[in-house]
Structure 1
Amino acid sequence: MVGELIYFLGLQIKQSKDGFFISQSKYARNLVKKFNLDSASYMKTPMGSSQKLSREYVVESVDNTLYRSMRGSLLYLTTSRPDVMYSVCLCARYQANPKITHLKALKRIIRYIGGTTNLEIRYTKDTNTNLVGFSDSDWAGDVDDRKSTTGGCFYLGNNLVSWYSRKQNCVSLSTVESEYVAVGSCCSQLPWMNQMIEDYGLHSDILTIYCDNSSTIYISKNPVQHSRTKHIDIRHHFIRDLVEKNIIRIEYIGTENQLAGIFTKALDFERFSTLRKSLGLCAI
């Protein structure tokens, strides 16, 4: 079953004395050629830092089949390419009625893939078994409904093992609320992942989540109901229980070192390339 999945996703696994390298370079090249963009100029980033997508009701729609085919092909590529996770998930929001701007955004992602088909994820042997998560959000980033985007990634020691980017299902009234909801999403996954590695005989120290919003950390550690938390849905307050029981520790990290930022917003090339490298993506 695992072998069939690896073949279907076009995963290529290499081993060296330093560790493992996973890529989908052949799949990426075929994808670019499939949509006739192999001769187009390459892009440095999958999405422009100032680019904002919206529903655009007055603009003429494009072929639904083509758009969904592009989006689906790119979605499979996110198995080994976390650098395009945010942009692909953003474009997926408009697949019901795609416009020309949405199609151009997808083509830009593919043009970026065309110039980076040699990227692969490195997994080193020299590491530990501590589980660490990075949580971030882009407050009111969706132009249409002002919902925020949650992004996160998880490391087992030095190695990236999971990542995600999704739109929150509620409208956050402040940056603090948006970040708190994002941390809640991260907290719900870490204990489950910890149970998984324990099934394999591995042990992690206290689970750590890094957040770049100090007010969010203060709320999670303060047992007194704060005025800023009254409008936050009660289901997100289980964070406090995890913190009080010393199961999860939430620590502050500067925005410049927040690795989950690449899953919540479009970035300029310098910032994007720095985070891409921090995720473990390197050229073959």
Structure 2
Amino acid sequence: MDDMLIAGSSMREINNLKTRLSAAFEMKDLGPTKQILGMKISRDRSAGTLNLSQELYIERVNDAKPRTTPLVNHFKLSKEQSPKTAKERDHLALVPYASAVGSLMYAMVHGGPWKEHWEAVKWLLRYLRGTSSTSLCFGKGKVTLQGFVNANLGGDVDSSKSTSEYIYTIGGTTVSWMSRLQKCVSLSSTETEYVAIDEARKEMIWLTDYLEELGKKQKWLDSANDEEDEYCYQCSSDEELRHFDYY
């Protein structure tokens, strides 16, 4: 059984689509959506807003002490922080680390997690608990896509790779975000920023194409990165930039 959402500006067209789908498949109309994929959906039609919240889901799976920040600077995780002895591995077996972060994230720590990783997971669970009432609010108004890009140089203690980060909003509400290690080892902060901007640009292309399909063509994209990064680019030496190439 699969759940499906139908959205549109015309109830006549929505009902017509329901009729056509019901003729081809066995379906049950559940009416206006209130919850899907662990998210609570609430609408205020008079104010023209729609809210997406995971508060109920977070409270159901998490009873941790609340925190207000996602992580603090003293967490420096590494693959070297792994159990080295049989006693340490037996101790880790009693910790629900894998179930807490999910099998995919668990597989990323190839050497096996240890105390530092579990402390970081507990902190994140507390952060979710402390911010569980925060929701995404979509309202009426101009559909304008805005993007923010950032990167840090050599932040990964194992590989010295940098991290690319971007976030896109529509009308001030987040619709797309990413934070992950870059595939290459950058030689300067300028190169790190270029890699991050390129990754953000690919997402921008997809988002603008999608909005155009919805009849919301973007005339331009408002994007931003650190003013300090712009200054670094202007002051960069030829040695930092001359190995760049186009493909």
Is the TM-score greater than 0.5?
yes
Alpha-carbon shift at residue 233 of structure 1 (Å): 5.7
Aligned positions of 1:1-284 closer than 5 A: 1-3=3-5, 9-16=37-44, 17-32=47-62, 38=63, 40-57=64-81, 59=83, 60-61=88-89, 62-63=92-93, 66-72=96-102, 93-94=108-109, 97-126=112-141, 128-212=142-226, 213-215=229-231, 226-232=238-244, 234-235=246-247
Larger helix fraction of residues = 1
Write the distance in 2 (CA, Å) between the matches of 1:22 and 1:142: 33
Contact 1:130 1:205 in 2 (8 A): no
Count of residues in correspondence between the two structures: 208
Q: Structure 1 unaligned runs (5+)?
A: 33-37, 76-88, 220-224, 236-284
Question: Contact (CA 8 Å) 1:21, 1:120: kept in 2 or not?
Answer: yes
Contact persistence 2:153–2:192 (CA under 8 A): yes
TM-score of the pair, normalised by structure 1: 0.64
Residue deviations 1:181-222 (CA, integer Å, cap 9, x gap): 000001111122111111111121212321111057769xxx
Q: Cα–Cα, structure 1 residues 169 and 65, in superposed 2: closer, same or farther, change >3 Å? A: farther
Moved over 4 A (4+): 215-219
Q: Output one character per residue of 1:169-191: Cα deviation in whole Å (capped at 9) or x when no partner.
A: 11111111111100000111112
Name stretches of at least 5 consecutive residues in structure 2 with no aligned partner: 6-29
Identical counterparts, % of pairs: 31
CA distance in 2, matches of 1:206, 1:64: 53
In the alignment, is the contact (CA less than 8 A) between 1:42 and 1:111 conserved in 2? yes
Tell me if the contact between 1:180 and 1:216 (Cα under 8 Å) persists in the aligned partners: no
**More relative contact order in 1 or in 2 (CA 8 Å, sep 6+)?**
1
Report the aligned-residue RMSD. 3.1
Amino acid at match of 1:97: G
Cα 1:8–1:69 change in 2 (3 A) is farther
Farther off after superposition, 191-200 or 48-57? 48-57
Q: Relative to 1, partners in 2 of residues 1:95 and 1:71: Cα closer, same or farther, differing over 3 Å?
A: farther
